[in-house]
Structure 1
Amino acid sequence: MSEKRTRSDYARWRDLPTRWADNDIYGHINNAAYYGFFDTAVNCFLIEEAGLDIHAGGVIGLVVETGCSYFAPLAYPETVQAGLRVARIGNSSVRYELGLFKTDSDGPAAQGHFVHVYVDRETRRPVALPQAMRSALEAIHA
């Protein structure tokens, strides 16, 4: 991860409530739950704005790379605000960058990325991004 980002660096936002089960024995959200927040923010965007049909569409995204840097703890009960932007759009791949923020903070509690490679649902071979998806991704490209 390069530099620490602020809210103004992200193009789309989603409020995500924490759950009781997200906290660990140390009284904060367990690191594994952050990836669930990332996945939810990206997939909500793809379903709502990019035309992804998770049940019957011919194209699906497979995660091939992830990373996360942690800066401050999050804990239940609070709402996490997830910021999303697209850093790179290839022929069949996309790199998403995300920031997780407390509602009263301009600095992220965590920031991460993951890369999807889009493949044919049946063959699992890479395919070009559908045009509607590419257009939605370009709209939030940094």
Structure 2
Amino acid sequence: MVSYGFWQTVPLRWKDNDVYGHVNNVVHYSLMDTVINTYLIDSGGLDIAAGPVIGLCVESQCKYHASVSFPESLRMGLRVAHLGRSSVRYEVGMYAASSEELVAEGNFVHVFVDRASRRPVEVAGKLREALAALA
């Protein structure tokens, strides 16, 4: 497995399977969003409900390598590929928990903005420290 600074295992759900019997592509995007925000909340202190700063997704991409289905779990690896003044580009690896096979790779870009004005703000303090730790 490629090196990632943060790992989270996520169980797939029955409803994640599509009519073709595998996890639908939109689920991969949802799981990327989940692992990123779990890390930001737990390690970076991001207050998604009432904090003055929020992260907006401005770009995302996913490359699929293998099929996966419920009841499998995915091991989600997270790292920071680029940390800018107000933005961060994450890389996410999704591996089948039972076999360590690479299922998908994703990229996700957040721009951090002021909650009220929606204008970009500098990533600072505990949030910057947490993101730098994954770079």
TM-score (norm 2): 0.97
Q: Distance in 2 between matches of 1:68 and 1:136?
A: 24
Percent identical:
50
Among 8, 12, 20, which residue is 2:14 paired with? Answer: 20
Q: Is the 8 A contact 2:72 2:98 kept in 1?
A: no
1:102 alignment counterpart: 96
User: Deviation per CA, 1:28-62, whole angstroms, max 9, x where unpaired?
Assistant: 00001000110000000000000100111000000
Structure 2 counterpart SS, 1:117: strand
2:133 alignment counterpart: 139
1:3 alignment counterpart: none
Q: Distance in 1 between matches of 2:15 and 2:40?
A: 26
TM-score (norm 1): 0.92
Q: Distance in 2 between matches of 1:124 and 1:78?
A: 38
RMSD: 0.9
Q: Distance in 1 between matches of 2:2 and 2:93?
A: 11
User: Deviation per CA, 1:58-82, whole angstroms, max 9, x where unpaired?
Assistant: 0000000000000000101111110
1:76 alignment counterpart: 70
Equivalent residue runs for 1:44-55 within 5 Å: 44-55=38-49
Unaligned runs of 5+ in 1: 1-6
Q: Distance in 1 between matches of 2:40 and 2:50?
A: 14
- Tell me by how many angstroms 1:8 deviates: 3.3
**Runs of 4+ displaced beyond 3 Å:** 104-107
Among 87, 90, 97, which residue is 2:84 paired with? Answer: 90
Q: Distance in 2 between matches of 1:87 and 1:105?
A: 26
How many residue pairs get aligned? The number is 135
